[in-house]
Amino acid sequence: MLDYFELDCAEPPAALVCWLHGLGADGYDLEPVAGMLGMPDVRHVFPHAPVRPVTVNGGMPMRAWFDIASTDLRRQEDSEGILVSAAQVRELTEALRAEAGLPVVLAGFSQGAVVSLAAAAQGLPGLAGVAALSGYVPRFLEPLLGNLRGVPLFMGHGERDEVIPFALGKAGYDVLAANGAEVDWRGYAMPHAICRQEIQEVAAWLAGVLRQG
């Protein structure tokens, strides 16, 4: 099972949020974002991606949810790597909610956003929503997107993103919406990052999702 850590929950948890970091980072990268949500009754869990060589970075080993062959992100997609990581995330969340049966929200940044969407599209017990930040939808995943109908989705993206172009993120929103998904799409005046306004809007979206549950 994936290595992970979690924040202390000040109150009995009402939900489990699993945060998936981006390429070359680790779970600690998103800890401040979770803390800024101001939700003391949420159990925040942060898994670490395995270390693997990444082709686009000269084969350098680093934490990555899947390989990237090119800066053209949808060319030579590492479908196997994405699906393996998605299965590991599903295994972790199922184990963590086994006793309490908490609703689960997947939240990911960049590569973590891709894997969050893949895990959700494969089916996840107790799934209440997905927050995909600065991510995209791989082509190979498109036939599974109908499985996300009825699952609240939040997608945020920087309009000046130099790593995953804004247009690619927007294309993901378009194909999800075309498959009947319920998507709250937001653009921000920022590069490949997470800004305070986005965190505030994720917090409001998450509160609404948990009220619905």
* Rounded Cα–Cα distance for residues 43 and 40 (Å): 8
Bridge-based pairing of strands 104-109 and 60-63 is unpaired
Residue 38 CA from chain centroid, whole number:
19
Calpha distance 34→42 (Å, rounded): 9
Please tell me whether residue 80 adopts helix, strand or coil conformation: helix
Catalytic residues: 110, 161, 192
DSSP 23: T
Structural contact between residues 195 and 159, judged by C-beta atoms closer than 8 angstroms = no
CB 69 within 8 A of CB 80: no
Residue with tokens 């940044």: 109
